[in-house]
Amino acid sequence: MLKIACADNNLFDNANFTFSGLKGQTKVGREGLHYFSKKATIVLTSPNKEFVDSIVNGLFRESHILLGNLMLQADSVEVEEVPQFSESMKYLCISPIVPFHDIQGLNNKMFVNPISDDFSDMLYDSTMFRMESSGLYTQEQIASFFRFQVIPDQDYLARINRMDKKFARIYSVIKNGEIKEARGYTLPFEILAAPEVQEFIYHNGFGELTAHGFGMLDIPYFNPEKKPYIVDEENSQ
């Protein structure tokens, strides 16, 4: 476990955030995931600047950070440019999205076809619940965010199927001290929604278990100088 000292421990309880896994040149071996890069990157996003600053300061206060068999040292921080949000945005997954979790009567490992209305509806319900729980929006605003649709890239799905690769996997999650499982999806897609909803998704993560590192998104090519990161499921497991 990576423990970061924060000035205010309540920040973790009150902040909306998500983060990526450790990114670098890796290879799966018998003993687990082997890193071959001299440098590794983790991406963190939150609308709460105080929370982000506290995490960054905590990382730099540690002389070394032991993560599994890796001995890491904080080196640098890069703040990414924030895009302009519109009613139609295309996204890539930096980490898998979980459309539902711990819903009574549903199996957490159940596969939901991304092109189905159920997939979009589950993510809509999750997003509206999280937006309402954040306390940042009025009931009138929440009610106005009724236009919402997730449109997966069907060319990508067809290509993945032809290559006999997976875009949906079962992941183990430690939640409230218990090991649970959830199905996560990694695919490019478009979202049709109000700009306020797009902004919330971008900064807070998309779907469930965002505080566990799921649902982090990237927007391809909005910054021409930035190369978008695309998760390679075959090499990330």
pLDDT single digits (tens) 94-153:
899 999 998 888 899 999 999 999 999 999 999 999 999 999 999 999 999 999 999 999
| Residue reference for tokens 């990576």 | 2
- pLDDT class of 3 with cuts at 50, 70, 90: very low
**Rounded CA separation 99/94 (Å):** 15
**Residue percentage of the chain with pLDDT more than 90:** 46
**Rounded CA separation 154/173 (Å):** 29
**Rounded CA separation 22/197 (Å):** 27
For residue 11 the two structure tokens come to 């920040």
Instruction: Say what the pLDDT of residue 27 is.
Output: 65
- pLDDT class of 226 with cuts at 50, 70, 90: low
Element (H, E) at 92: strand 88-93
Q: Is the pTM of this model over 0.85?
A: no
**Local structure of residue 218 (DSSP, 8 states):** E
**Rounded CA separation 45/32 (Å):** 27
Give whole-number Cα distances, 185 to 34, 133, 169, in Å: 23, 24, 7
- pLDDT class of 35 with cuts at 50, 70, 90: low
Beta bridge partners, 152, equal 189
Which of helix, strand or coil describes residue 97? strand
Instruction: Say what the pLDDT of residue 222 is.
Output: 61
Instruction: Say what the pLDDT of residue 131 is.
Output: 95
Per the model's pLDDT, the better-predicted residue between 26 and 66 turns out to be: 66
Buried b (16+ CB within 10 A) or exposed e, 209-235: bbbbbbbbbbbeeeeeeeeebebebee
- pLDDT class of 34 with cuts at 50, 70, 90: low
- pLDDT class of 231 with cuts at 50, 70, 90: very low
Per the model's pLDDT, the better-predicted residue between 2 and 188 turns out to be: 188
Q: What is the mean pLDDT of residues 164-174?
A: 91
**Rounded CA separation 171/168 (Å):** 10
Position 204 pLDDT exceeds 60 = yes
**Rounded CA separation 53/6 (Å):** 9
Cβ–Cβ under 8 Å, residues 152 and 115 = yes
For residue 152 the two structure tokens come to 């997966």
Cβ–Cβ under 8 Å, residues 6 and 58 = yes
Tally helices (H) and strands (E) across the chain.
Answer: 7, 12
Beta bridge partners, 189, equal 91, 152
Position 230 pLDDT exceeds 90 = no
Cβ–Cβ under 8 Å, residues 155 and 191 = no
Position 67 pLDDT exceeds 60 = yes
Q: What is the mean pLDDT of residues 31-38?
A: 66
Per the model's pLDDT, the better-predicted residue between 183 and 59 turns out to be: 183
Per the model's pLDDT, the better-predicted residue between 147 and 175 turns out to be: 147
**Rounded CA separation 93/99 (Å):** 13
Q: What is the mean pLDDT of residues 49-57?
A: 87
**Residue percentage of the chain with pLDDT more than 70:** 81
